[in-house]
Structures are given as C-alpha cells and as structure tokens.
Structure 1
Amino acid sequence: MDPVTEAELRSVLMEKKKQFTTRDLVFIFRERLKTTENKTAFADMLMKIAKIQKKEGSKNFVVLRDNESVLSSELGRLSIS
C-alpha cells in the first residue's frame, strides 16, 4: 500500500468545521500505516506541516502550520537562511 502523501494529509486537515486529534488522523489513514516506514514518514510529515493547538478544557487538536512556519522550518532543516 502506498504511503500517505502530504497533499492528502493537508486536504484532511483543511476540511472546514472539523477538528482532528492525532488519534483521529491515525484512524483515517490506518490502512496505510501498517509498515514502520509508512508510520515514520507519516509522523515526520505531520510534524513538518502541522502543530498541536491546545484548547482550554478540551482535547488538543492538530492544525496546519502557517506557510511561513513551514518554509522557515524547511530552510532551517536544509541549513539555508
């Protein structure tokens, strides 16, 4: 089975009026997270494009990072400033 792509993950996270926990995302893509490689790639991608938004008195939800944060983290990873 093919690994989850960044575009697919972004598409799910961009759904309006829905909030997802990491558990929700794993459940959505569970059939494609069977191998260690796919799990690792999914986790790395999630950390790259998303962050945890803490809600007072509620669960923590995964939200997309703003583009500037993604770009800056990518440039930092590549040692480009």
Structure 2
Amino acid sequence: MYSCWGNDLYYYKNFKGHRNTIIKVLKRVNYIHTDCQRDFEMAKSLGFNGDFLGVIPGGTGYKLDELQKFKMPVGQRKIILVKGY
C-alpha cells in the first residue's frame, strides 16, 4: 500500500530520475490512498492500476476561527518559516 502525501507525486514527477522510480514503484503497488483526487489521477497517469482506497487529507483541515487569537501584525513577528523539499 502506498500512502501518498500530495507532493510525493506532484513535485517529484518533474525530475527524470525520481519520475522513473515513481513509475516503477506504482506498477508494483496494490493499494493507494491520496491527499486529494488530483493525486490519484496523477498516480493513474504514472502507471498505478491497483485499488484506490480513497482520499484521506493529511492536513485534515484547520479550524481557522480558533487560530485567530494567535495572529500578529507582520511587524511584531520574529519567526520566518520556510517549508521546502
């Protein structure tokens, strides 16, 4: 089973070496679940033909109203967070 985390396919399919590995692996995978429908469609286009177990969002959504109390004006912020691969 392959548990796909969005950018696993979306980002890495753009690099020839990674893309070739992804294609080889997807041919051997029996089951997959993805973060979104887009990623399932992408997996199919890259050769996955096993059973789709559905969309299971990794972030599971955010309760934005509960996070409002943590917002700060930009000038008061002391941390810059960069997420990358």
Report the TM-score when normalising by structure 1. Answer: 0.28
Could you say which structure has the higher helix fraction?
1
Give the TM-score taking structure 2 as reference length.
0.27
Q: Max radius of gyration: which structure? A: 2
